Structure 1
Amino acid sequence: MDGVGETLRVDLIPTIDLSAPDPARIDGALQNAGFLLVTGHGIDPSLPAAIRDTARGFFRLPGPVKQPYAVKVGGRGWLGPGAEANGYAEGTESPPDLKESLSFAAEHAAEHPTGMAPVDADWFAPNVWPGEIPALRPLLEDYLRAMRALSERLLELLAVALQRPEDFFTRHTTHPTWGFNINWYPGTDTVGVAQPGQFRIGPHTDFGTVTVLDRQHGKGGLQVFVDGHGWQDAPYDPAALTVNIGDLMARWSDGRWKPGRHRVLPPPADVPAEELISLVYFYECDPGTDVRGIDSHAYLRAQLDAITAD
């Protein structure tokens, strides 16, 4: 059952009002699809809108201007065309993803290191701020503070939904790592016609605990895979953020919950100029955290390496 073009029923991906959350609905959703929509999150919509407008100015620069910021997956800077193939995480030798990204990650000021030099160098290095868009940094600093606070609140809710103490997860997020991507999905005038098996983002599950996504609706947008329902369009609410759990959280739940498998469709043939920008915040945990017998950050590093396309 393919299900492409249909939209998942609200009981599979419910909308949770964070001002009055229902732990049972959260638990059910994470057993089904690994996805939620959340309202009552407190994020002023003007902030992500301003981030998109500013970042768009960078993405539309000529390639040679962006090239000095080029990094590989897991780095801090610009992921250019062909840099990433998320399908590799599933062992699928697909063409590279049809996107570009500006990537940021956790950083600690010099006066507040973890005290573990290799960890600080690998996971808490300084971010790179393109000089061509100086307005981005203050916008992102506000947004990233809000994302961390929201992620902490979500982890508390997930602990309650799992019938654990509220700090069951957050006791492991004193010095957490996180990643943040501004993903630009341009139209075919920029990326060309998709090759067979090529997506804006190939099928995969995220790697960490929770992912918080501020997305734009489009024909070449987010799809979610659910057993018995196949690939279907993810529900969209402009007032809501999309939340899914990753591999670490699924493991932490002893397999009760499923990591949200998803993909982003290529530019649609009937709307070839469609351009979307997603803001994707990946929350993780403290380096060295043991998640049911695996080293969380050894796993994260291996997965980031796995989706590097060049």
Structure 2
Amino acid sequence: MKMMNCLQSWPEPIVRVQSLSDSGIHVLPDRYIRHPSDRPSFTPISTHANIPVIDLHSLLAARDARLRQATLDRISGACREWGFFQVVNHGVRPELMKSIRQLWRDFFHLPLEAKQVYANSPATYEGYGSRLGVEKGAKLDWSDYFFLNYLPESARDENKWPTTPESCRELVHEYSKAVVELCGILMKILSVNLGLEGDHLQNAFGGDDVGACLRVNYYPKCPQPDLTLGISPHSDPGGMTILLPDDDVSGLQVRKGEHWVTVEPIPDALIVNLGDQIQVISNAIYKSVEHRVIVNSIKERVSLAYFYNPKGDLLIEPAKKLVSKDRPASYSAMTFDQYRLFIRQSGLWGKSQVESLKCSQ
């Protein structure tokens, strides 16, 4: 993309976090040590809450109208109060989820030289990476990742997808198709719950010409986990994220008021969270919520985040039906390409970007 021409290289040599972990260091390099106020132990952790868990069976299969409405109401409440929820009976095969998670775990355990073939740049982020943002001297997250584009097809470059493990490309296709189908269902549900036509959000995102991309996160064991983060606090810049968490260790934390809530994954569940673009279109009826990832010294962690995003050159703005004299438009219009350039230049900084779009009223 032309807008990315200014972001062709990283400002400093890339160090793989996994290599640091495997080297047996006992003290974190300074680049990963957070200011005391940004460390995991600074803000209180809530031990009495978890994000809502919603069974989608009644929407995908059952015919009981009351049960369907109760499920719709639960989703609406989760979107308004949390911006996050877990779904079960969501239509993605548990065997597929298990297989693709193990596949990527195997990828990150390949020799470094095999992974370096796919080293990425900030121009597109496609491939094997270890940092976000191009600000020189910025504090870094304790994680590596692999990023790839799936939709639109014109943005898909399978030459940048791993060929090892051998089943990688086949499983990525199968998993992507299943998750994109789930996103389409959820977009209809959110539209209806907002009082819009069922296809409103999908059309606002570009209809069949949406963006879908996968980021596989790898969090190695960390010698001093209380001093760093796996991913900095942020809200997702896109539309909707479907997260396949690690089934063996938790790490995702969601901000709820002044507390952080550690999400405890449920077997065979997927985690859904709303991004900034849905907050804008819903005129802040639905919220994208700050979240972060903590790491630990005992276990590594792998998660797969699937991002479902608007077409890059479409203006995203509050739905006219959700704007009134009593509730004026909260946000200025901006394309998703313009929006995510902020992230690619500055990295993750809480909710600073979506807040910067607010209109003066």
TM range, normalised to the smaller chain? Answer: 0.7 to 0.9
Q: Does residue 1:15 correspond to 2:56, yes or no? A: no
- What displacement does 1:159 show? 0.4
- Distance in structure 1 (CA, Å) of the matches to 2:250 and 2:201: 34
Per the alignment, residue 17 of structure 2 pairs with: none
Q: Is 2:313–2:336's contact at 8 Å kept on the other side of the alignment?
A: yes
- Distance in structure 1 (CA, Å) of the matches to 2:305 and 2:84: 14
Indicate the SS of the match to 1:169.
Answer: helix
- What displacement does 1:301 show? 3.0
Per the alignment, residue 79 of structure 2 pairs with: 30
The equivalences for 1:164-243 within 5 A come to: 164-171=196-203, 172-188=206-222, 192-194=223-225, 196=227, 198-217=228-247, 221-227=251-257, 229-243=258-272
The verdict on how the C-alpha distance between 1:306 and 1:218 changes in structure 2, with shifts beyond 3 A counting, is farther
Indicate the SS of the match to 2:45.
Answer: coil
Q: Is 2:46–2:262's contact at 8 Å kept on the other side of the alignment?
A: yes
Per the alignment, residue 288 of structure 2 pairs with: 259
In structure 2, runs of 5+ residues without a counterpart are 1-41, 59-67, 318-332, 349-361
Cα-to-partner distance string for 1:8-41 (whole Å, 9 max, x where unaligned)? 24xxx32222232523222222222210111121
- Distance in structure 2 (CA, Å) of the matches to 1:146 and 1:160: 22
**Residue among 32, 47, 50 paired with 1:6:** 47
Q: Does residue 1:76 correspond to 2:126, yes or no? A: yes
TM-score, structure 2 length as denominator? 0.70
Q: Does residue 1:43 correspond to 2:68, yes or no? A: no
- Distance in structure 1 (CA, Å) of the matches to 2:269 and 2:243: 9
- What displacement does 1:220 show? 5.3
Per the alignment, residue 301 of structure 1 pairs with: 341
Q: Is 1:186–1:273's contact at 8 Å kept on the other side of the alignment?
A: no
Cα-to-partner distance string for 1:198-248 (whole Å, 9 max, x where unaligned)? 211111100111100110256651110012x51111242113211000111
Per the alignment, residue 114 of structure 1 pairs with: none
**Residue among 27, 46, 54 paired with 2:103:** 54
- Distance in structure 1 (CA, Å) of the matches to 2:211 and 2:141: 24
Aligned residues: percent identity? 27
**Residue among 151, 158, 162 paired with 2:194:** 162
Per the alignment, residue 301 of structure 2 pairs with: 276
The number of equivalent residue pairs is 277
- What displacement does 1:158 show? 0.5
- Distance in structure 2 (CA, Å) of the matches to 1:52 and 1:40: 18
Give every structure 1 segment of 4 or more consecutive aligned residues whose post-TM-superposition deviation is greater than 4 Å: 217-220
The verdict on how the C-alpha distance between 1:100 and 1:16 changes in structure 2, with shifts beyond 3 A counting, is same
Q: Which amino acid is 1:238 matched to? A: P
Q: Which amino acid is 2:165 matched to? A: I
Bigger Rg, structure 1 or 2: 2
Per the alignment, residue 138 of structure 1 pairs with: 170
- Distance in structure 2 (CA, Å) of the matches to 1:42 and 1:55: 21
Indicate the SS of the match to 2:57.
Answer: coil
TM-score, structure 1 length as denominator? 0.81
Per the alignment, residue 8 of structure 2 pairs with: none
- Distance in structure 1 (CA, Å) of the matches to 2:196 and 2:152: 30
- What displacement does 1:108 show? 5.0
Q: Is 1:78–1:102's contact at 8 Å kept on the other side of the alignment?
A: yes
Cα-to-partner distance string for 1:101-120 (whole Å, 9 max, x where unaligned)? 111113555xxxxxxxxxx5
The verdict on how the C-alpha distance between 1:30 and 1:8 changes in structure 2, with shifts beyond 3 A counting, is same
In structure 1, runs of 5+ residues without a counterpart are 110-119
When structure 1 is superposed on structure 2, of 48-57 and 146-155 the one drifting more is: 48-57
When structure 1 is superposed on structure 2, of 39-48 and 58-67 the one drifting more is: 58-67
Q: Is 2:250–2:265's contact at 8 Å kept on the other side of the alignment?
A: no
